[in-house]
Structure 1
Amino acid sequence: MGMGRVDTRRVECLDGLRGLAALWVLIGHMMILTGFRLPLVSKPDLGVDLFILLSGFLMVFQYQLRADREDWSAPGTWTAFWTRRFFRLAPLFYVTLAVALIAGPAIYESRAAIDSFMGQALQPRERYADSSFANVAVHVSFVFGLLPGYAFRTPLPDWSLGLEMQFYALFPFLVLLARRTGWVPAALIAGGVGAVAALAVTAAGLDYPMPSFLPLKLHLFLCGMLIAADPGRGRRIWLHLAAAVLLAAIPIGGDQDLLHFAVRELLVLGFFALVHLRTLGAVERVARLLGSRPFYWLGELSYGSYLIHLLILQPVAAAVISRFGTGLGAIERFALTGMIVVPVTYGLAYVTYRLVELPGQRLGKAVIRRATGNATRSRQTVPEELAAP
């Protein structure tokens, strides 16, 4: 059985997986808002779980690539890491946040029309139309994910970005713990502490509308970290897999029915195979496909499509309902909505990728170079992608 070690300069399946995760979220939301459901595909939260798994993997993968030139016992290394991640997420988020706050009342009217047509309870108006200073401040500072009253309070699917930023804040400490104890003990310790914290928050009566508080999803980040972490020689990689499977089974953070449990485990097992067993025939073919040029671009546009799609989807779905009503069945409503939403979303994602994301990443690198006094540009070997969606 061929084993592919995670010491190469690129893991080819990442492009396709992050692209598919974003597409999964888009299609899942489109199904929810048009009334057409298919098993599994109509669960966009599982697409976010895949993003989380990839994010944990990427942070450790990049840490290992830079380990020979970065001292993780030095706070300056932490600052550079946090700066890179901030400039990866913040520029496009701030642009879409501004649009969402301005268009919020109109988007709420669209959502109210959809909910009324579907016979569902109306969303709270403040969920879409809160442009208060407090709401703006907690979103600009990325602390909104910690606050149940603000964690899900814009038209964007941005709760996962608050979650992601909490993971980045914790990541250097997870690295230091892993360097002291090893990756598997560190992951099990962190997963146990996270589970206790999640249960304590629930016992305290804090109700998060989405799992935006890091302890609710830390175990999935840890799964990705274990898959990336180099276990050294021998067969200890299987111990990493066993620990990841165990962590993925922790029943916290989102829906816990049998489908969600099984899919989360399959995501861990499938991603492990694509990374560590990619020399096998069938696995290698899938990995190469996911690294092909179309999937590369699907991956590059994943962050933009994730942030933008609900801004387009809700008005378009409401317009289709207003125009055709019950004259269209659910599948026709889904298809017509998708014909408009998908190309517009990815078109805007491409434009913002060129005009916002790439300049933002360049600015972040310039800030780091100036702060460290190092004018040497390190080669970018792995995309600084979200796993958030």
Structure 2
Amino acid sequence: MTGAGMKNGHFSGRIVSLDGLRGLAAMLVAVYHLPVIFGFTITHAYLAVDFFFILSGWVMAHSYEKRICLGMPFRDFLYNRFARLYPLYAVALLAALAVTLMKSRIGTGSANIACFVPNALMLPCLQDDGPTFPLNGPSWSIFVEVTINLIWFFAIRMGMHTLRWKLAVHLCSALLLWGFAVWMNRYLAGYESDDVHEGLLRGLLGFAGGLLLFHCRMHALILAYFAALALGVFAVFYAVGDTADVIPLGLFVMGVLPTTVWLAARQRPAILEGRAAAFLGDCSYAIYLLHVPLAMMLQKPLRLMFPGTGISAYMMKAAIFTAILLFVSSMSYRLLEVPARRWLLQRLKRDLRPVTGSIQ
């Protein structure tokens, strides 16, 4: 029996369940980055980025793989990705730059604008020390996603889209990532100038996993493959001595996250198929890119309105900030992301229909 959104055993249209999960993951990242507003942090919420990479692989396979195999020009693919990702990316970067300059001018912060040009080109700013995207930190994962997307296009053109290739790429990326993790006795990062390669490895592993999950979307046996990899990570770290407590992260990244994506897309639970999930899906990209610039603007006013470190003060700050973030993100989706995407595709004189689904 096929679930909602499936025709003849194949998925079609928007998968609201995955949209909603991406929105929830984006909110987790916001909480992780802003303990000064929320009053607490979720220690390993940064693993939501690995979840984004898996979702990206699934959605790109769903939206583009067949079209690329049938001869979709690289220019069309590039235009679609640019129109989808760049408008909000640019607005968020400019907003962060404006706030940074303003704070620097009034003496409440230091301006770090040397990285603006490479960051505006979606490129990391490689310094001796420090983040690669200092104005808007979460942007590092967008660079990783774009890089992996471009490599993937040409890989498909070279015929690397069969199940055999997908298994090989995913297994090799898993061995590389966890080999580095064992060597360094920690999970990989990716947002600092000296660990860009780590972010690319995380992106490759997640994206390859998403491609594989979509290819095997009708076969639950794929979950056994991911379970075996998770147990392999457990065994290796247990054998060498897991002094950094990486084992739970390995089980989560290699087991829980892929299983969640496959089950959510396959089962389409009612709780993840409603308007709230669709709303979060629409807002997810803006939540992810705007929470840092928005916090830069609102942190001091909220602190003045609700001073102290009591529970009630943090609850008020968190509630007001979340409401503003969701409102701004919703307006961004309706008034910026969708119109800008349509306008850019028309401006570039390509008769391209925008790809459905907001989790792209």
**Which category of TM-score, normalised to the shorter sequence, fits these structures?**
0.7 to 0.9
Report the counterpart of residue 13 of structure 2 in structure 1: 9
Q: CA deviation at 1:243?
A: 7.0
1:52-67 paired onto structure 2 within 5 Å: 52-64=53-65, 67=66
Q: CA deviation at 1:383?
A: 1.3
Report the counterpart of residue 268 of structure 1 in structure 2: 258
- Normalising by structure 1, we get a TM-score of 0.72
Report the counterpart of residue 241 of structure 2 in structure 1: none
- Could you tell me how far apart the structure 1 residues matched to 2:287 and 2:232 are? 29
| Secondary structure, aligned partner of 1:222 | helix
Unaligned runs of 5+ residues in structure 1 are 114-124, 279-283
- Could you tell me how far apart the structure 2 residues matched to 1:78 and 1:146 are? 28
1:1-389 paired onto structure 2 within 5 Å: 6-30=10-34, 32-34=35-37, 36-37=39-40, 41-64=42-65, 67=66, 70-72=67-69, 74=71, 77-106=73-102, 129-132=111-114, 135-144=115-124, 151-175=132-156, 176-179=159-162, 181-192=164-175, 208=194, 213-230=199-216, 237-238=222-223, 241-242=226-227, 245=230, 257-264=246-253, 265-276=255-266, 278=267, 284=268, 287-322=269-304, 325-326=307-308, 328-329=309-310, 331-366=311-346, 370-371=349-350, 375=351, 378=353, 380=355, 382-386=356-360
Task: Quickly say closer, same or farther: Cα 1:337–1:379, change in 2 above 3 A.
Answer: closer
Q: CA deviation at 1:47?
A: 2.4
Task: Quickly say closer, same or farther: Cα 1:107–1:212, change in 2 above 3 A.
Answer: farther
1:300-355 Cα offsets, whole Å, 9 max, x none, are 011112211222224433334445544x41x3232121122112112211222222
Aligned partner of 1:310: which letter?
A: V
Aligned partner of 1:272: which letter?
A: W
Task: Quickly say closer, same or farther: Cα 1:366–1:228, change in 2 above 3 A.
Answer: same
Aligned partner of 2:261: which letter?
A: F
- Could you tell me how far apart the structure 1 residues matched to 2:274 and 2:125 are? 35
Aligned partner of 2:208: which letter?
A: L
Q: CA deviation at 1:23?
A: 1.6
Task: Quickly say closer, same or farther: Cα 1:22–1:247, change in 2 above 3 A.
Answer: farther
| Secondary structure, aligned partner of 1:95 | helix
1:79-98 Cα offsets, whole Å, 9 max, x none, are 32222111111001111211
- Could you tell me how far apart the structure 1 residues matched to 2:18 and 2:163 are? 29
Task: Quickly say closer, same or farther: Cα 1:340–1:350, change in 2 above 3 A.
Answer: same
Contact kept in structure 1, 2:38 and 2:318, CA below 8 Å: no
Number of equivalent positions = 338
Aligned partner of 2:119: which letter?
A: H
1:163-184 Cα offsets, whole Å, 9 max, x none, are 2211212221443323384421
Task: Quickly say closer, same or farther: Cα 1:17–1:6, change in 2 above 3 A.
Answer: farther
Q: CA deviation at 1:33?
A: 1.9
Task: Quickly say closer, same or farther: Cα 1:321–1:217, change in 2 above 3 A.
Answer: same
| Secondary structure, aligned partner of 1:334 | helix
Aligned partner of 2:167: which letter?
A: V
Contact kept in structure 2, 1:305 and 1:349, CA below 8 Å: yes
1:92-127 Cα offsets, whole Å, 9 max, x none, are 1111211111111456799x98xxxxxxxxxxx66x
Aligned partner of 1:218: which letter?
A: L
Contact kept in structure 1, 2:302 and 2:317, CA below 8 Å: yes
Worse-matched range after superposition: 99-108 or 289-298: 99-108
- Could you tell me how far apart the structure 2 residues matched to 1:104 and 1:356 are? 23
- Normalising by structure 2, we get a TM-score of 0.77
| Secondary structure, aligned partner of 1:177 | coil
- Could you tell me how far apart the structure 1 residues matched to 2:215 and 2:104 are? 44
Q: Percent identity?
A: 22
- Could you tell me how far apart the structure 2 residues matched to 1:191 and 1:72 are? 26
Report the counterpart of residue 116 of structure 1 in structure 2: none
The Cα RMSD (Å) is: 3.9
Aligned partner of 1:45: which letter?
A: Y
Task: Quickly say closer, same or farther: Cα 1:247–1:211, change in 2 above 3 A.
Answer: farther
Task: Quickly say closer, same or farther: Cα 1:378–1:243, change in 2 above 3 A.
Answer: farther
